[in-house]
């Protein structure tokens, strides 16, 4: 799929360990800075119990979940905006992803070095934010210079760009990410979007905690500090023990429930990481079901029936006639499409229908 989530953070916070657990790709994870040089990429299935239950009902030849693309990006250090460490490469990689999972170290371990010599989640986040903000300051400054020149001829868009950039620069200079900046009106929104600022990307935090505090996060001051920071940005935090998740990922599927129970977990923390990234990107899932295949499809929230059909094939959207829709719980409850139709649970929807997360859809089309 075309949606991607970059895994970022300082060196040695657990990015590659998390990535290894997330995907089948085995990224190198070592105890020294810049172990990750080229970004590792993994296509990760989005866990969905609805898909599993429909597969049990239909017993299809194949079951295909939807997925999200995770990119493990090199660790960032102070001065990255000026090219320190692998800064230029990091910034180029992060520009290409749709959203960011910012891994922050929230555990003490004298055997794992910290690039700054101490564990301080708030300071670590500020280091990353500062470097990204500095790079965005360069971008906004260049846009402001161009807008000032072109606005002399009375261009209303460029005048709006001047106003936007003059307000945005002090915001970034103070270390605040662009995603917390208030844009005024559609014209400014368009200009803001076209600048493709690094700190404008949707971001959530992954608090990498020790196994000893995973069941009692209130006792972890590092995690509590990160949570407070995230709340100030209206961001989410997912607690996870990357080392433990790595062990879970190595187990055979049938052995995982017992291991999870022994660790006091209902499900792998990775599932929450995946779902949070999926939700952050404004995505949702609809399903198709039959004897040959049960499949989940990724669409943006608010997508219409023809747009959802186009994800399967462009011909479906171009020749869209109607959509036969059943709510997934109704399908499981009644046991078949025929019984859902008899009970009035199968609806015929047209071009204006907005597909819901969890709809089971069959499209009629003609080209």
What gap in Å lies between CA 274 and CA 316, rounded to an integer? 29
More confident residue, 326 or 130: 326
Judged against a pLDDT cut of 70, whether residue 195 lies above it is answered with: yes
Is the Cβ–Cβ distance between 288 and 294 less than 8 Å? yes
The pLDDT value recorded for residue 135 is: 86
- Kindly report, residue by residue over 330-366, the tens digit of the pLDDT: 999 999 999 999 999 999 999 999 999 999 999 999 9
The CA–CA distances, whole Å, from 17 to 213, 236, 366 equal 18, 21, 48
Assign 60 to helix, strand or coil: coil
Q: Which of 246, 207, 241, 253 is nearest to 20 (CA)?
A: 246
Out of 25-34, 148-157, 216-225, 356-365, least confident range? 25-34
Pairing status of strand 293-300 against strand 283-289: antiparallel
Kind and range of the H or E run holding 289: strand 283-289
pLDDT of 178 over the 90 cut? yes
DSSP string, 300-358: ETT-BHHHHHHHH-HHHHHTEEEEEEEEHHHHHHH-SHHHHHHTT-EEEE-TTPBPPTT
Least confident of 38-42, 132-136, 315-319: 38-42
* Letter string b/e over residues 119-131, b meaning 16 or more CB atoms within 10 A of that residue's CB: bbbeebbebbbeb
What predicted TM-score, i.e. pTM, was given to this entire model?
0.80
According to the model, what pLDDT value does residue 81 have?
45
Q: Give which of 196, 142, 150, 191 is closest to 169, Cα–Cα.
A: 142
* Residue found by looking up tokens 């029936």 in the block: 305
Residues 6+ apart with CB under 8 A from 116: 10, 123, 124, 127
Calculate what percentage of the chain has a pLDDT beyond 90.
Answer: 51
Q: What is the pLDDT of residues 26-75, one digit of tens each?
A: 333 333 333 333 457 788 888 899 999 999 999 999 999 988 888 887 65
């Amino acid at each position: 799929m075309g949606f991607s989530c970059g895994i970022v953070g300082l060196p040695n916070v657990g990015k590659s360990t998390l990535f290894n657990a997330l995907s089948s790709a085995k990224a190198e994870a070592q105890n020294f800075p810049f172990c990750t040089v080229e970004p590792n990429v993994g296509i990760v299935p989005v866990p969905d119990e609805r898909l599993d239950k429909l597969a049990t009902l239909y017993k299809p030849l194949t079951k295909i979940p939807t997925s999200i693309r995770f990119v493990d990006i090199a660790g960032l250090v102070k001065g990255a905006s000026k090219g320190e460490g692998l800064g230029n490469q990091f910034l180029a990689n992060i520009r290409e992803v749709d959203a960011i999972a910012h891994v922050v170290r929230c555990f003490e371990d004298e055997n794992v070095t910290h690039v700054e010599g101490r564990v301080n989640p708030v300071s670590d986040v500020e280091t990353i934010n500062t470097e990204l903000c500095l790079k965005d300051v360069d971008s906004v400054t260049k846009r402001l210079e161009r807008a000032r020149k072109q606005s002399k001829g009375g261009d209303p868009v460029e005048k709006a760009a001047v106003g936007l950039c003059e307000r945005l620069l002090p915001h970034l200079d103070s270390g605040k990410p662009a995603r917390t900046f208030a844009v005024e009106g559609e014209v400014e929104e368009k200009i803001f979007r076209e600048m493709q600022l690094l700190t404008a990307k949707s971001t959530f935090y992954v608090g990498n905690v020790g196994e000893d505090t995973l069941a009692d996060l209130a006792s972890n001051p590092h995690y509590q500090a990160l949570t407070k920071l995230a709340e100030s940005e209206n961001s989410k935090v997912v607690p996870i023990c990357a080392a433990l998740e790595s062990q879970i990922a190595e187990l055979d599927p049938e052995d995982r429930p017992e291991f999870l129970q022994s660790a006091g977990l209902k499900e792998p923390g990775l599932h929450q990481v995946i779902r949070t990234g999926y939700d952050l990107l404004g995505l949702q899932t609809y399903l198709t079901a039959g004897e040959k295949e049960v499949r989940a499809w990724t669409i943006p929230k608010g997508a219409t029936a023809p747009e959802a059909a186009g994800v399967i094939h462009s011909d479906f959207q171009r020749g869209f006639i109607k959509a036969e829709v059943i709510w997934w719980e109704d399908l499981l409850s009644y046991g078949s499409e025929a019984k859902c139709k008899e009970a009035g649970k199968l609806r015929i929807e047209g071009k204006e229908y907005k597909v819901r997360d969890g709809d089971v859809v069959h499209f009629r089309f003609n080209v």
